[in-house]
Amino acid sequence: MVLFDWLNELAGPCCITGPCFNCPGPASKGGRSHRDQILRTLRSPGHEVELAISPIGRMRGLAGYHSSLLIAGEEYYFSPTGIHCYPKIYSHPDEGVTKVFIGLSEALALLSFTTGMADVEAVFGFGSNSVRLRGRLEDPEISGVPARVRNYALAFCGPNRTWAQADGQPVGTATLIQKDGQVALGTVVYLSDKHMDVLDGYEGVPFVYRREKLSGEVYRDGKWIPKELWAYIKADSMDWYRPSEAYCCAILTNLSGSFSGTYELPLRDAEGVVRETWTHPGVPSLKSMEACLFEVGIRKERPWVMPRTIAGKRRGLGGLNLAGIVQAVREGRPPAELDEEDCRILLELTSEAEGRDKHPEPTPHEGAGPTRVPFEEALKLT
């Protein structure tokens, strides 16, 4: 019953127009504050627990307040699709946030006891990034953080046709293989059970991919923190197939979104042999229309569902190539398959100079870009 007493204390009357947790309430004895009462409910000291509060709509509380829970600096907050987790404050504006110290507690016990947030899972994405997941899961609030798994390496195998190019030939998609001394880099996103079920469907679990728990690390506050991560490992075949250009763009987008200075992608088979190294040439020099469309779709405010939307757009564009589409857009007669936002992004990308120094890194959704780690630093294991 301690929790209910605590909630009752928080709901006690207060004459201050904003949220207040420091004044003595009617149930307080001897002038004890709400903070004192809260501290008495925490039995097992552990992680620092705080309540984060900010006015909704920057209206100084007239429209109400948004609140979230901070455990050791990690935020847990409600959204229309459930409870989300982020390594730092994400759901509040940059200014005007009030943090109220609640006390110390065991984070996992608190999560399980209050809202079931322990069901939020950390998923290691090495083949798709958080922006692409927003399109797949129809949730613009999904965000990612840099992560790595030691003694594993990125590899490609197939056959796969969903990421195929116009010729329809099967291609390879990503998996992880055990490789001593190597480091697999990627992006971790925190997903609810509902999101995991949707993602399982996209990944073809258990026939194409299987879900496997790995011991990894996430980057937070300037250091690597051990974390158990879910990863999708290829289950149907380990035969070598070269990935398509569009898929290479997707992988490099994921890596460059979390690790700065990432321009090359080793194409490794399931035996660990590097067959070749792919370098992003810049959008104007991409060879396939599918890759160009990926670079457009990943930058939209509401990213496309990849790769399904790419295939539909490609069919609608027929035999048009990139140069022809850009010329048509500049002349004010864009293809019907591309909306105004698509055309704007396309012109921005094709106006960039070609080459390694102008590799077009993804533009993250507003407020959702993760802290980036230098690529070479991420490979250091000491």
Pairing of strands 98-105, 82-86: unpaired
Please state, in angstroms and as integers, the Cα–Cα distance from residue 376 to each residue in 183, 185, 194, following that order. Answer: 11, 11, 36
Q: Say if residue 178's pLDDT is above 90.
A: yes
Q: Are residues 133 and 104 in the same domain?
A: no
Q: Are residues 112 and 124 in the same domain?
A: no
Mean pLDDT of the chain: 78
4-8, 50-54, 351-355, range with greatest mean pLDDT: 50-54
Q: What pLDDT, in 10s, does the model give residues 227-245?
A: 999 999 999 999 999 999 9
Q: Which residue, of 64, 83, 117, is where some domain finishes?
A: 117
Q: Are residues 363 and 300 in the same domain?
A: yes
276 phi/psi in degrees, rounded to 5: -165, 170
Q: Which residue, of 77, 93, 117, is where some domain finishes?
A: 117
Q: Say if residue 13's pLDDT is above 90.
A: no
Q: Say if residue 64's pLDDT is above 50.
A: yes
pLDDT value for 16: 34
Higher pLDDT: 52 or 48? It is 52
> pTM for the complete prediction?
0.68
Q: Are residues 283 and 370 in the same domain?
A: yes
Q: Are residues 247 and 282 in the same domain?
A: yes
Domain of residue 149, CATH code: 3.10.490.10
Q: Are residues 247 and 317 in the same domain?
A: yes
Q: Are residues 24 and 131 in the same domain?
A: no
Q: Are residues 78 and 131 in the same domain?
A: no
Q: Are residues 186 and 170 in the same domain?
A: yes
Q: Which residue, of 95, 117, 139, is where some domain finishes?
A: 117
Higher pLDDT: 194 or 244? It is 244
Q: What pLDDT, in 10s, does the model give residues 110-148?
A: 333 333 344 578 999 997 655 567 667 766 666 688 999
Q: Are residues 71 and 198 in the same domain?
A: no
75-89, 125-139, 203-217, range with greatest mean pLDDT: 203-217
Q: Say if residue 274's pLDDT is above 90.
A: yes
When divided into structural domains, the chain yields a total of 2
15: pLDDT confidence band, cut at 50, 70 and 90?
very low
Q: Are residues 71 and 132 in the same domain?
A: no
Q: Are residues 109 and 129 in the same domain?
A: no
**Closest-CA residue to 282 (of 334, 313, 245):** 245
Structural domain harbouring 366: 120-382
267: pLDDT confidence band, cut at 50, 70 and 90?
very high
pLDDT value for 38: 33
Q: Which residues contact 243 (CB under 8 A, 6 or more apart)?
A: 156, 163, 171, 172, 173, 174, 251, 267
